[in-house]
Structure formats: C-alpha cells, structure tokens
Chains A and B, each alone.
Chain A
Amino acid sequence: MKGQAVSDAKNQLMGDIEQSTELLRFTTAGSVDDGKSTLIGRLLYDSKSIFEDQYEAIKATSERRGEEGVNLALLTDGLKAEREQGITIDVAYRYFATPKRKFIIADTPGHIEYTRNMVTGASTANVALILIDARNGIVEQTRRHAFISSLLQIPHLVVCINKMDLVDYSEEAYNAIKEEFSQFSSKLDVKDVHFIPISALMGDNVVERSENTPWYDGTTLMYYLENVHIGSDHNFIDCRFPVQHVIRPYKDEFHDYRGYAGRIAGGVFKKGDAVMILPSGFTTKIAKIETFDGELEEAHPPMSVTMLLEDDLDLSRGGMIVRENNVPDIGQDVDAMICWFSDKPLQPRGKYTIMHTSQDARCIVKEIRYKLDINSLHRNTEDTNIGMNDIGRVVLRTTKPLFMDTYRRNRITGSFVLIDEGTNNTVAAGMII
C-alpha cells in the first residue's frame, strides 16, 4: 500500500513537471532612477524568489552604508565596482517562476554608454519592459530603448508607466504619456505594444490590481507576463538547420554513422522530408531525426537534435539543411544594420571576422551607408564615423557565401557578430536587412 502511494505521488509530480511551464525571457530597460531595480525587486519578492539570507545580506549592507530602507538594487548589482558606484555595469540575469511560467530577466543598465548591454539583453528576449517615470514622461532614454527593442525585433513591448503614486494616479498623466509614446512608436517596427500604469514601490498593478486606478481596465504586469502568447515567436515556416557538429562514433556498431548535430533555427522538419544541403546544393531525404531519448517524427525550433540523411554527402559545420523550394539567400554581400561595441571605431574598408549561425568567415567593410540618430531616426549620410554604441547601416563582403535570411524573418539566420582580428573581441552585432 505504502509503495503504491509513493509511486502515485511520484507520477503526479512527474506529470506536473512535464506539462508545466513555458519559459519566457524578458529584458528590462529604463533610465537611471526610474525604478527598474525596485520593479525587479518587487517581481522577485512577490513571487517569493528572494531568499531570506539574500534579503538579510542586502539589508545588512544597506544599513552599513547608512541607506534608508532596504536597497533592492543590491540584489542585481553583483560586482564590486557596481556596488561601489551604485550603478549597473553589466547585464545581470535573474530568475523567478510562478506556477504558470518560468522567467529569465536580462536586467540591463540604463546608462547611455551601455547600449551594448541593452542590445545583448534584447537579442534573446520575448518581451521588453520599458519603464517611464510618470513625472518625467518620455525622455531620450525611452526613445533609445524603444528603438533598440524594434531594431532587435523583440516581439512584445510593455510600457510600464511607473511612479503613478507620485502623480496622484492621474489618468490624464497616463494618457498623455501613452499618446506621446504611441506617436513615436508608430515610426518604429513594433508589432505589439501594451501600456500599464504601475507603482513598483507601492505595488500597484504589478501583481495585484490597484484600487487607485479604477479608470484602468487592463491587466496587471504579472498577469500579462504569465499570459502573453509567445507560442509563435519562433519561425515555424522556413526550414533552417545549421550544422554545428558532425557526430561520428568510433564504435563498431556505428560504423557508417554520420549524424549532423544542431539546433533547429526555423521551420518544422519531418522524417522523410526531401531536403537540400548547403553549400553543395545536393538533395536528399531525412532518414532519421535522432536524440538520446529516441527517434523523433518531427523537430522544430528551438530543439537540439541530430539528423541522419539518406545519402552520404559532403556536409560539415557551417553547412545548412533546408527545403528545396525554400532556400535562404546565398551570397557574399551582407546588407545590415549594426550596433558598434568597441572604443575603436568601425574602420572603412576594415577587415573583420564574421560569425553567422555556425559559420566563420572573414569580411571587409565595403560601404557605410549611413549612421542613424536614434533620437530623431535621422539617417546621416555625411557623418559615417561609427563609434562605440552607434548604430549604422553597412554593406559587408565576405570571403565565402553565407546562408542568410532577413532578421525580420528569422532572428537566428538573420543575425551575426563581428570580431576584431587583433583582439578577438566581439565588436559589433549585426541584423541582416
């Protein structure tokens, strides 16, 4: 009897885990002092993700420094230099979960000079939270954040109009900001924008609906995060499988085994599908889609699988498996928007290493078309000096063909980074147009 009860409990648990929770990644952005750390602190606190010893530790630190109250920013500012200066230098990743979803927050610094961190955090996010101080309205930073969210094609944007308690929960103040933001964002490429009046400090409309905003009939922030539809954030149409690594077990029973390991970047692949392999252009069929846990009938993003093909063809890392009637753009000229991350400006005619999906190549900067003014969205064709945190449009010429989609179509096959050949540092993020 006892054994039965134990195994029932176990089955129940396993069932719960297997059907549980999707993963949602979001990024937070705001300018200095608009309450970003407080908001994150509240989300963590209200979802019971701050531990007692963590809380005690930051409480002690706050007291030692003579600060008033518990400084929740200390939770996210992990580095010595950050704590000393009271600023966030680097992206910090935070985790919390509710019964519905598990969340990864990329907490990015609000300072202008750290645009590169915002871009980094935005690159993997499903949702961007933009904070606006209700007293100050839209500032330069807000425009910058909204623009980067659209440039990085974050599917969902939530504008949190914060510190509503300091404007007496005024509907007019909220509407004015909403109106101004909408006018600005209509010029951007954002699909799904949501507005929520909150007070991170007091907790209004964060987890609990606020009685102070009877005029607001939308959802709370937590409800939004738990329910926003992210099921179609991946591309399930264009089949793209960049080969990462070839698996060749040197064991007798797997004598002729060649497995192409990788992560599905787009589309749904099925066993038996007719496929084309790149760069050779030969066609064959998918013999098997394998995993450690057994064969699959089909595979979709973002699964990591191993493909076996019916014919023995030349295919290795950097190659790609696609559908014959739906191939990416194959070429050596890359037209892209880039965000520059290095103190040393982009060199016209300069040579860099480009990493794109599982390919490495060298490239030369053929043309700098314009530099973009993030605030006015003006395209400056006169001043094309692209320095730290600048965004510009360039054309690159690569030493070998890349298999590209536009970034709008696919965030994986449409993105790349540039690497300085001297220092090996990542100096730019690129989005293919």
Chain B
Amino acid sequence: MNYQLNHLRELEAESIYVLREVAAQFEKPVLMFSGGKDSILMVHLAMKAFHPARIPFTLLHVDTGHNFEETIKYRDNLVARIGAKLIVGSVQDAIDNGTVREEKGFNASRNGLQTAVLLDELEKGKFDAAMGGARRDEEKARAKERFFSHRDEFGQWDPKNQRPELWNIFNGKKQYGEHFRIFPISNWTELDVWQYLAIEEVELPSLYFAHKRKVFKRDGTLLADTPIIQKRANEEVVEMMVRCRTIGDITCTGVWESDADNLEKIIQEVSTTRMTERGGRTDDKRSETSMEDRKKKGYF
C-alpha cells in the first residue's frame, strides 16, 4: 500500500487544515475575494473543508469601481451558487465621501486606495480574521509572510517582528481590536494553482483564457483599452489575442499576448514561461519594496 500523497493533494490537505483552524480559532472570519484565480481556489478549498456544511465565512470584495466587467459577473454567479454572504466595500463611495483621494495623471490607480476601504470594512464588520489568497512565490515580501499573520490595531504588519510558526501549530491569539491576516494557500505556486483547478474542473472567469481585446503598450506592459485609463497621444491601440495571468484593478493589471484558450494550454504556458505573473502588475513596479510598503500599512 502506498501512503504517499502527490504534491497537489498534500497542499490541499494543508490548506484545508488552515481553513479549519480559522473557523475554530476566530469569532468572525472573512474571506477576501477578489475574483482572481487564487481567491477562487480559496473558496473551492473552503467548500471542501466544511462539507457538507456551508462555508462559515462571509466573502468581502473590495471593489475599486475599475474592475473588469467579467470579474463582477463571475463573482455574483459564484456567490449565488454557493449560498454565501457577500459584502462589497466600495472605493468609489470612499472617494465620493472624501475618505480617500483619487490619484491623478497617466498612471493613476485605485490600487492603493483599497487599503483604507479594506481596513474600514474589517472594522465595520468587526472581523477578527481576514483570509487572503496571497502566495509566497508571488513576490519577495510575500515570501516572508506567515500563514497566520498578526496585524496591530492600525492594521499594520511588522515584518521584523513576526511570530515564529512551527509544525502545524498556529497561534491566533490577539488583543481586542487587533486582527489576523490568514493565507491558506501560502505554499502553492502559480503552476500548482492551475494544475489543481484543472483536475478539480473549477469554473473560471473568461479573462484568464485567450480572447481578442483592444490593448495598448505602456512601459513594456500591455494594458486593456478602457475609458478609465488616460492614454498618451503616442499610445496606439491595437487588437490582439491576450489573456490575464492575474486579475486585479483594470488600471494596473497587465494582459499578456497569448493563444492559450483552454486549461491545458495555460498549464503548458505557465510551466514554460520565463516571466513572473506579477510582471504585468504596474502597482508592484512603483518601487523595489512597494509590496512590503503597502503590506505594512495594511494592504492585502
């Protein structure tokens, strides 16, 4: 008898374990849902962890108001299908009532504004744990992240003073007003995610598959042509076969030239590509430590 799990089943078992710890250790956890493949994976794993009961978490989507249309449609379908509760935190509302100020100019993005809205929603909902689909292979600051990551009463991360995390013991103890960020899929790589979504036959937003779209090039990145992004005079719009490798705010999510229109081709592409998936994220490119800087302030 062979008692060895393959790597995907072992990662699955680990993530399910973490999700169950969250349900057991926290009073009011929330699952941060962006509509991207990583949060879709998290929802799928949560369904597995608590079957046949419903997912014992609310979903929270911080909507920049600059999302791809397909993302919102997918989100609403998913929520209806699994019978979950969804809260939408609106960046537009925060701008309208003056909580945050919108950036101006060519590279304006609402990415950074999400932090204020997220922290606000966590406080309003009295959530004591927020689960995110961040992975350690994505970005160098995320490589240092714990599964259970402590946040102080201002929602800040202190990377130099993290709790040691040993074996499979997760310390979720905190003072009143503090919360935790929890990353159940920390150990998955981009390829693991795709392989797993393929064998599990999970339905995915159409944006991930190659499709025709009007795009233009800026600083080496292809961006979708949309009225939301102000174009320079010399930026020429062309139609191309593209797909998203990550899905975020439309203003900072680059698309990739690709003809991968099904999962097999995507896996093929991901396993041979020589560029990181966040390579198209202009929000990461603002400085060498932009992810760490944002995370310290409470960004997801």
Note whether A and B form a binding pair.
Answer: yes
Footprint of B on A, CB under 8 Å? Answer: 6, 9-10, 13-14, 17-23, 48, 51-54, 57, 61, 75-81, 83, 89-95, 97, 101-102, 104, 116-117, 119-120, 123-124, 230-231, 234, 236, 244-245, 247-251, 254, 257, 259, 261-263, 268, 290-293, 300-304, 306, 317, 341, 353, 355-356, 358, 411-412, 415-417, 419, 424-426, 429
Q: How far is the CB of B66 from chain A (nearest CB, A)?
A: 24
Residues of A near B199 (CB, < 8 A) are: 14, 17-18
Q: How far is the CB of A374 from chain B (nearest CB, A)?
A: 18
Contact of A79 among B163, B263, B292 (CB under 8 A): B292
Docked pose: A34 CA to B134 CA in angstroms: 32
Q: How many residues of B contact A (CB 8 A)?
A: 70
- A116 touching B141 in the complex, CB below 8 Å, given contacts A102-B7, A416-B169: no
Residues of B near A306 (CB, < 8 A) are: 51
- A411 touching B167 in the complex, CB below 8 Å, given contacts A79-B160, A302-B13, A304-B17: yes
List 12 additional A-B contacts (Cβ < 8 Å) besides A245-B23, A355-B171.
A51-B274, A57-B288, A95-B137, A95-B189, A97-B189, A244-B21, A254-B53, A292-B47, A302-B10, A417-B171, A424-B175, A426-B166
Residues of A near B53 (CB, < 8 A) are: 247-251, 254
- Check B274–A358 contact: CB distance below 8 A: no
Residues of A near B54 (CB, < 8 A) are: 249
- A119 touching B264 in the complex, CB below 8 Å, given contacts A78-B143, A97-B191, A254-B52: no
Docked pose: A13 CA to B260 CA in angstroms: 15
- Check B189–A93 contact: CB distance below 8 A: no
Docked pose: A304 CA to B192 CA in angstroms: 18
Interface string of B7-51 (1 = CB under 8 A from A): 111111110110011011000000000000000000000011111
Docked pose: A116 CA to B162 CA in angstroms: 11
Pick the 4 closest A-B CB pairs, nearest first: A78-B140, A249-B53, A292-B48, A304-B16
- Check A261–B10 contact: CB distance below 8 A: no
- Check B171–A13 contact: CB distance below 8 A: no
Closest to B3 in A: A300
Interface residue? B195 (CB, 8 A): yes
- Check B49–A304 contact: CB distance below 8 A: yes
Residues of B near A123 (CB, < 8 A) are: 166-167
- Check A415–B167 contact: CB distance below 8 A: yes
Interface residue? B168 (CB, 8 A): yes
Docked pose: A276 CA to B66 CA in angstroms: 56
Main secondary structure of the interface of A (DSSP, over half): mixed
**Cross-chain pair count, CB within 8 angstroms:** 200
- Check B189–A18 contact: CB distance below 8 A: no
Contact of A353 among B168, B173, B174 (CB under 8 A): B173
Name, among B50, B140, B267, B273, the residue most crowded by chain A CB atoms within 10 Å (CB to CB).
Answer: B140
- A23 touching B13 in the complex, CB below 8 Å, given contacts A124-B167, A261-B49: no
Closest to A102 in B: B7
Closest to B136 in A: A93
Interface residue? B5 (CB, 8 A): yes
Residues of B near A83 (CB, < 8 A) are: 288-289
Docked pose: A234 CA to B274 CA in angstroms: 36
- Check A51–B6 contact: CB distance below 8 A: no
Residues of A near B141 (CB, < 8 A) are: 78-79
Residues of A near B162 (CB, < 8 A) are: 90
Residues of A near B100 (CB, < 8 A) are: none
Name, among A291, A412, A426, the residue most crowded by chain B CB atoms within 10 Å (CB to CB).
Answer: A426
Please provide the chain B residues from 143 to 175 with a CB less than 8 Å away from any CB of chain A in the complex: 143-144, 159-160, 162-169, 171, 173-175
- A249 touching B52 in the complex, CB below 8 Å, given contacts A81-B160, A93-B187: yes
- Check A304–B13 contact: CB distance below 8 A: yes
Residues of A near B12 (CB, < 8 A) are: 304
Interface residue? B78 (CB, 8 A): no
